[in-house]
Each structure stands twice: as C-alpha cells, then as structure tokens.
Structure 1
Amino acid sequence: MLRTGQTYREGLRDGREIWIDGERVKDVTTHPAFKPIVDIRARMYDMAHEERYASALTYQDGQERNSIFYRPPRQQQDWQDKVRAVDLVMNDIGGVVTRVGDETVGEMWSLMDGRDVLSEIDSRFDANIDRHIKAVFDNDIFHVSANTDPKGDRSRPPQDQDPDMMVRVVRETDAGIVIRGAKYETAAAYADQAFLKPTFGAWVNDKLSDYALGCIVKMGAPGVKHICRSGFAGRGSAEDYPLANKFDEVEALVIFDDVLIPWEDVFFYRHTKAAQFIRSTLHRYSAFPYVHRLLYVADMLIGAAMWNARQTGLDKLDAVKAKLADLVCYREGINAHLTASIAAAQESPGGLLMPHQSMLYAGRVFACSNLPQMMHIARELCGGQICVTPNAASFAAEESGAWLKKFYTLNDQWSAEDRRKLLAFARDLLNSDYAGHRLTFVQFAQAPHFNHLNAVYHSFDFKGPLDFVRKSAGLSENILG
C-alpha cells in the first residue's frame, strides 16, 4: 500500500508530544521548524504516485504496488533500482536528506539475517521480525531508528548513577514491557516509528541485563516525548539560507517515560549476547544509503566550487583545476566503493544480498573522514565573498541594491542576482550553522570514526594478505596454528 503525502501528514496528527524552544508543538506538519522537512517527506510519498516516477520508485508485489526503497534486496538489480530511485528523489527535491526511511529499514534486514541466532538465545520473539519487516513495506511506514542514549558518566555502570541514562526495562506486564530512558534521534518527531536498539555500556559483560533491548516504538505512543533542538529553518530568509530553510532534519532527545511496548513489538530482551550480535551486524545494509547520500554532498561541493571558479574565469588556472580534481577524486572514490560493493555483493545469512562488507565499510571511512578536508577545498575555491556578501534584503533595497548590482554584476552571463544566489548557496553549504551541524552529523550519525574502522577490521578477510606474505617470505605452515 503506497501512502500519499496527505495520508502521511494525517498520520502525524496523533497527539504526539513535541517540544522545541520551550514550546509545545500543536501540529508538526505546520510548525515552521518542521514544515519544510515534512513537506519534503510528503513530496517523496507523492512522487511514487506520479506517472513519470512510479515505475522507478515502486514495484509490484502481488496485487499491490510497494516502495522500491523498502524491498529487501535479493539480487544486484534490487540495489541498482534503489540507487536510481534515490537519484530521482534527490534531483526532484534539489538537495540531500538522510533520514527518510530507506537508510534505517536495512537495520530490520539485519534482524532478519540474525533470526536464527536470536532464536537460539530467546525464541519468544522470532515471529516478530518477519511481521515487522512486512509491515514496513506493506504500509509504507516512515521508519527511523533510535540512536544513542545520553549515557551520563561513561566510566560508571548505569546502575551506579541515574539508571535512566540508558534505556531500560522497568517492569513486565501481560501486555508487554515498560521502558524508561531516552535516545537521540533524527526525524523522530515526524516519523511513524523507530527501531530502538541498545547502545553498549558497562553492562555488556553481564549475561542478562534490562538494558539489552531491541524493539519497535511508535512515535506517538503515550509517554513518548520529543524534545527537539532549535531548528535552522526560519533563522534567516530562504534567499540567504536555501539549504537550512528546506532540508533541516530536526533531531530530538526522545524521552521514554514509562512507555508500554507490546510483546509483539519486541525483538530481543535482556540477553546481552543478542544485543552484542545485533550491534555488530546493524549497518551491513544501512551503511549503503548513508554513504550514498554523501555522493550527492560531493556533487554539491563540486558544483558550488566549479560555478564560483567559472564566474570569474579562475577555472582556467592549473592550481584551481588541481583543487577541483581533488573534489572529483573524492566524489569518484565514494562512487567506486558503492559500485564495487554491489558488483561484489555477498549473500547474507538470511538469504538476502548485502553489499560487500569490507568494501562498503571502507567506503564509509573514506567518505566520512575526508569530508572536512573536501569542504575546506570547496571553501577555498568559492573564495572569501561567501562570508562577506550582504543578504538578499540589501540586494532588494532600492539604494543599497543599486550599489550591489554595480559591484556584483560581472558580465552579460553573470548578473548580480545570480551571483548572490550562488554565494548564498555556497555559504549555507560550507559556512553556516547548518553546514557545521551537517558535518558533525556525518561524523557521528552511524557511529564514531573508531567504530567505522572497527567495522572494516572485522569485515575484512585477512587470509589473502597473510597467505601471500607467508609464501613470499618462506614462512613455515606451523605459524598457522
């Protein structure tokens, strides 16, 4: 069942408790901090119903058409279809959004892969996994994931401080478990549900723990409270901050104040072995769309830098060409990792087709760790005018606008207004509060950098290099152990 933008908006009017800047939000679909990004998500739902997009964004599943983003991947074409669909969406909306559902549904597929392991640990919740995966693509659910806890003092177990610093189960009932705590999450305030999974703490060495929990939480459920950071939309005009006013994906500290989780929404509970297993496999699919989004960020860096160089003729200088080539190498490096991870895709334990794991994780390290440097290169190429240019109101005013038109008009091709728009875009991409926020988000959204490297270490097959050196160095087979 494909939703429309309107049905999506109606689903958000469920009485959910949302706070921002000390204000209780009456309607998340119309509040100025949320409306732009809600409209983007609604636009994505509507695109699937339009003739020019429907064949690429949906697929036939029995009698129903479902979203291509939520189809579990079983062959390379499935991944290629997802890549094409993302390309159509990003080009239609004219920017980059990360949390829209396809990048988190992969975590559910990881649960599918781990079904046998989880069943061995605790078979009570085995059927819940398949049912929830089916529910997501049957009902076109906007599904996100609850990321990290406040944690408190990380040198101490949660039991030795305020125990709610990490999400925990406080009691069991006939209807389900009751949880307390909090999670930081992007897009939770305007999503349907979240996959709440554990963040490791000092409890992981225990065999059983009330902190070892994986479940589905409805974002409008009683006791769920969204306390959001200040939004970037509305801080300045859309003319001056075109990205911040359209694509801000508002994060929230989501409070779980004695929230009832029905038993049918629980995937694992109390067994720390289950929690450790899921954390180790969590990103085997979701890392792909996460890295894929950075390909479009790279395109924006290249486009903004290239246009700024061209407008003044600096693109003819070899030094400028070299810096533009650095941006191209970054972009194509991301593209190469993504392409190779699908070309060499591996069958997962659950019978799905997962991107080649070490190639994908290495691509994530490449894309995230090099982004700060690439942003600085783009900043250099755009020049100092992105930090000194007056705002749109100054260009529009009669007296100041006349002077600005004089000094910002280059030739018949580059009017003052086009230059202002380009500089405003580059400023919002590279220099604004929104730009800094997005850079930090990229560094931590899936995990800190050391965890990215840890994933590479554990997914890479060291046998080939070890065998090559053993034979080349003439080492005995005794060292194999």
Structure 2
Amino acid sequence: MIRTGQDYIDSIRDGRRVWMNGERVADVTRHPMFKPIVDIRARIYDMQHEAAFRDRMTWLDENGEPSSIALKLPRTQADWQAKRLATDTVLDEVGGVVTRVGDETIGEMWSLFDGQEILNEVDPTFSRNIRHHVDKAIRADPFHVSANTDPKGDRSKRPQDQDPDMLLHVVRETDAGIVVRGAKYETAAAYANQAFTKPTIANWGDAALSDYAVGFVCDFSSPNLKFICRTGFAGRAPAEDYPLSNRYDEVEALVIFDDVLIPWENVLFYRHTKAATFIRATLHRYSAFAFVQRNLKLADMMIGTALFNVRQTGLDRQQAVQEKLARLACYREGINAHLTAAIATAEPSPGGLLMPNQSLLFSGRVLACSQLHEMMHLARELCGGQICVTPDAAAFADPETGPWLEKFYTINDAWAATDRRRLLAYGRDLLNSDYAGHRLTFQLFAQSPPFAHLAAVYRNFDWDSPLSFVQRSAGLDPRVLDRAS
C-alpha cells in the first residue's frame, strides 16, 4: 500500500525519453541535476516506513493496510490537521522546501471527484474513472503531479486558427482510448509517475463540445512522450556555496505528447466544456492548502536567516531592525492564521468531502504570494550586503587567503568564520541566487497568476453578509438586496 524509496526509483527507470542541455538523459535517478530531488522524493517514501515518522505520515485503511496520509480523502478536520502535520514533518526532515512532491497535486483530483454529477451528464464512465483513480492513488501510492500550462502560442487567436498543437487536444479516438497531441509544462514530470492533465482554458464561450476540453491521468511511462527539461541548478556551483540550489531544485519539463494513447479508463472527461470549466474554477479547492503551507516554511527560513544575521552583530537591539523583523513575523503569522482558520471553519464539499474554508484559504494564498517579494527584500536588508560580496568556500579553505578571511569573518567565540560563511551562503541562495529568483517566480505562478488568485477570492467571499448588514444599519429598503445580487 505504501512504497519504499527503492520502489519509487525503480518505477521511473522505465526508458522514458528525457532531455536536458541538448542531451538525452539515460537515467534520471543518477543524473547530477535530477538525483538530489529524486533522492528527496525517495526519502519521503522511506519516511512512511520508519518508526520515527510512521504515525505522522500514514493511516490504516479499512483493511488495516498502511496508506499515505497525504493521499487520504479529507472528510474531517482531523484529516486536515494530520495532513498539515505530515507536510511539516517532511519539510523538517529534508531541511528545506519542496513543492511538487505529490501531496499538493492530488487535491486537484479531489476537486474533480466533487464534480461527478457534471461528469454523469455526459457519460457515467467518467465519474467511475475519477473514483477509480482517487482510490488507485491511495492503494498504489504513486508520485502524482499536475499538468496545466500549455505553450499557448498567439493568445489573440483561437487554437483552431493557429498551429492546433499549441494547446493539447484529441486527434482521434480508438477502441483502446483517445490519442492526444500537444505539450504541457510540468514541474517534476521527468521523475514522477503520473499527472492529472487538464486544459488551461477558463472561458469556452457558448461551446458545448471541443477536442481541447479533455482531462485525463497520464502515465509517464507511456510511449510517444518526450520530456524536454530546463537546465537544473544542482551541480552548477559547489554545494558549500549554494546549499539550497544543490538540494531542492525541482526541475520543470516541456512534456511533448506526440500522438500519445490515453486508455479509456484514464479519461476523466472529453469533449465536455462544462467539465473543463468546472475543474478550472475548482482546481485548487484542496491543493491550495499544501501550496500555501509551504510559503509558511519559506517565511520561517527567511526569518531564521535574517535573525541570525542581525543577532551576530547586535543589530537586533535597534528599533528599525526590530520593526523589519516584526513585519516578517506578521507575514508569517498571517499565513499561519489563514491555514488554521481554514481548517477550523472547513466546509462540506459537493462530493461529500471536507474542504478548507474557501474564502480564507484563497485569501491566505493572496497574502502568501503577493507579499513574498517584499518579504524577501526585507530579509535581504536584514542580512546586509555581505550575502552578495562574500568569497566562496574555496577561498576560506585556501592556505594563503583563508587566514585573512578567518580574521575578517570571525565575529566572536560563538560565530567563527566557518559558520558566518555558511549562513551568508545560505542567505545568498535563499534570497539572491538564480534559484531564489526561480522560486519567487514559481510561487507567483505555480497555482495560476496573481489576477486569478484574486478572482478565486472574489468567487468564494461571502458578499451577502456585508450587504445585509449595511442594508439594516443604513435603514435601506430590503428590496435593494435583490437588486444588488
């Protein structure tokens, strides 16, 4: 029911066609730019079996079999508390933030699980398929990711009016399933097992049918898939100088669907724009929770790095410094409050699950993402200019330059030059490096762009309560409520 790390590693040695830097990758589990994150995913699987973590990461199903808490359907507040604890346990153990490791993407499947009535309008088979795949995820424990963004092409034109492959679409039906063509950008695809693949189009107009309105579970061992990856950050520079880049980089790929057969049992909807519209509107109903929770850990990393830096030299006694630290703390606690309240006031879903309070969850996402760049800059200010000018580890180890660096980087008995350099390198990689910039952009767009974050708040906020209060308080005619709705 739960895999080991070796089970996972063996599962992705399936001959998949992966490229990086213009070269074919023979084995993603050994390639230097994939291996660190593959090893972390394997470590997460192994944690589920270890006594120190088992109780926080697994539960026993109705047959007494251990299953991953991350993949369990959420039906109670206790389920959400357990999921939150499991994610914190993973991030604490691996020592950093990893975003696309499965627990934050399986929730997208739960959103479609909630839409079974819509699927039944076209074909009850699609409803059965989503139930099957939700159950299969629990039983098989795959590394499951998400496939959303297409190359898109010229967005002023309809897909049909340009190269049709710019958006993933069905090219034909067979007895075995549908054949799809196009491409998707997917984080972690090159080393994952499967993805929930769905369209990015939110407005289908009055179209009822479309070959672009297709959603399915894609097995990444399928023939005719190609994974063209961006260059990884791991291995570009020594780990002593870039400790985060070398461990936690989650590599994106442009996944090419070159006439890929999707078996009928993996098709979740097809030529059904209503289902496609539903999943775009509800996609992050559950998955936003784990996504926002990771911003909380990122805030902790910024606070810890900044606080160590100012305490080294006694700057934490200055009011201006304390105010900046307080702003970081408010950002952190704001995220924490939204997550806590979203569970405490959780709501029943249309499919019988329990979803975090949607207005609070999506408001928390806006807070976490929209202020992240400001908080990173605050942390930079608190760390000071040395994070961008400090020599590399090799200079500290060199017999000729080392003594000088030892002299100028040692602060006191508690802060010798070695630890001072390590902290500055950590801060540089967290806030200033190529990896830091990539992470910032990823957090802004990984769950849709900022305007869509606000649109989600608009759709889920309770507008009626403020209107009703003002109607009564101002003595307005009750009929204004009807006109305002």
Which stretch shifts more, 378-387 or 109-118? 109-118
Report how far residue 121 of structure 1 moved: 3.3
Match of 2:348 in 1: 347
Match of 1:436 in 2: 437
RMSD: 0.9
Residues 361 and 455 of structure 1 are in contact (CA less than 8 Å); yes or no, is this contact kept in structure 2? yes
SS in 1 for 2:422: helix
Identity of aligned residues (%): 66
Match of 2:7 in 1: 7
SS in 2 for 1:378: helix
Report how far residue 201 of structure 1 moved: 6.7
Report how far residue 202 of structure 1 moved: 7.0
Report how far residue 124 of structure 1 moved: 3.1
Report how far residue 207 of structure 1 moved: 1.3
Match of 1:237 in 2: 238
Matched to 2:55, the amino acid is S
Distance (Å, rounded) in 1 between the aligned partners of 2:205 and 2:419? 56
Matched to 2:32, the amino acid is P
Residues 203 and 277 of structure 2 are in contact (CA less than 8 Å); yes or no, is this contact kept in structure 1? no
* Aligned pairs (5 A) from 1:172-321: 172-200=173-201, 203-321=204-322
Q: TM-score, normalised by structure 2?
A: 0.98
Residues 204 and 277 of structure 2 are in contact (CA less than 8 Å); yes or no, is this contact kept in structure 1? no
Residues 158 and 202 of structure 1 are in contact (CA less than 8 Å); yes or no, is this contact kept in structure 2? no
1:37 paired to 2:37: yes
Distance (Å, rounded) in 1 between the aligned partners of 2:205 and 2:380? 44
* Aligned pairs (5 A) from 1:122-201: 122-200=123-201
SS in 2 for 1:254: strand
Matched to 1:211, the amino acid is Y
SS in 2 for 1:180: strand
Report how far residue 205 of structure 1 moved: 3.5
Report how far residue 147 of structure 1 moved: 1.7
Distance (Å, rounded) in 1 between the aligned partners of 2:296 and 2:453? 18
Residue-pair matches, total: 481
CA deviations 1:348-380 (Å, max 9, x no partner) are: 011111000000000000000000000000000
Distance (Å, rounded) in 1 between the aligned partners of 2:121 and 2:201? 21
Matched to 1:194, the amino acid is A
Distance (Å, rounded) in 2 between the aligned partners of 1:450 and 1:231? 29
Report how far residue 475 of structure 1 moved: 1.2
CA 118–140 in structure 1, closer or farther in 2 if over 3 Å, else same: same
Matched to 1:331, the amino acid is R
Report how far residue 63 of structure 1 moved: 2.9
Which stretch shifts more, 203-212 or 24-33? 203-212
Matched to 1:9, the amino acid is I
Residues 189 and 226 of structure 1 are in contact (CA less than 8 Å); yes or no, is this contact kept in structure 2? yes
Report how far residue 29 of structure 1 moved: 0.2
SS in 2 for 1:468: helix
Distance (Å, rounded) in 1 between the aligned partners of 2:203 and 2:341? 37
Report how far residue 480 of structure 1 moved: 2.9
Residues 468 and 481 of structure 2 are in contact (CA less than 8 Å); yes or no, is this contact kept in structure 1? no
Match of 1:116 in 2: 117
Report how far residue 125 of structure 1 moved: 1.4
Report how far residue 206 of structure 1 moved: 1.5
CA deviations 1:418-438 (Å, max 9, x no partner) are: 000000000000000000000
Distance (Å, rounded) in 2 between the aligned partners of 1:396 and 1:135? 52
Matched to 2:248, the amino acid is F
Matched to 1:413, the amino acid is A
SS in 1 for 2:210: strand
Report how far residue 471 of structure 1 moved: 1.1
Distance (Å, rounded) in 2 between the aligned partners of 1:88 and 1:145? 23
Report how far residue 203 of structure 1 moved: 4.8
* Aligned pairs (5 A) from 1:6-25: 6-25=6-25
CA deviations 1:286-345 (Å, max 9, x no partner) are: 000000000000000000000000111111111101100000000000000000000000
Report how far residue 88 of structure 1 moved: 1.2
List gaps (5 residues or longer) in structure 1.
Answer: none
CA deviations 1:394-432 (Å, max 9, x no partner) are: 111110111110110111110000000000000000000
Residues 118 and 274 of structure 2 are in contact (CA less than 8 Å); yes or no, is this contact kept in structure 1? no
CA deviations 1:221-267 (Å, max 9, x no partner) are: 10111100000001110000000000000001111000000000001
Which stretch shifts more, 377-386 or 46-55? 46-55
Distance (Å, rounded) in 1 between the aligned partners of 2:277 and 2:339? 27
* Aligned pairs (5 A) from 1:452-463: 452-463=453-464
Matched to 2:34, the amino acid is F
Matched to 1:452, the amino acid is H
* Aligned pairs (5 A) from 1:21-100: 21-61=21-61, 62-100=63-101
Matched to 1:189, the amino acid is A
Residues 229 and 253 of structure 2 are in contact (CA less than 8 Å); yes or no, is this contact kept in structure 1? yes
Match of 2:332 in 1: 331
Distance (Å, rounded) in 2 between the aligned partners of 1:316 and 1:477? 56
Report how far residue 204 of structure 1 moved: 4.5
Match of 1:477 in 2: 478
List gaps (5 residues or longer) in structure 2.
Answer: none
Residues 74 and 352 of structure 1 are in contact (CA less than 8 Å); yes or no, is this contact kept in structure 2? yes
Residues 394 and 401 of structure 1 are in contact (CA less than 8 Å); yes or no, is this contact kept in structure 2? yes
Match of 2:400 in 1: 399
Matched to 1:10, the amino acid is D
Matched to 2:6, the amino acid is Q
Distance (Å, rounded) in 1 between the aligned partners of 2:362 and 2:290? 12
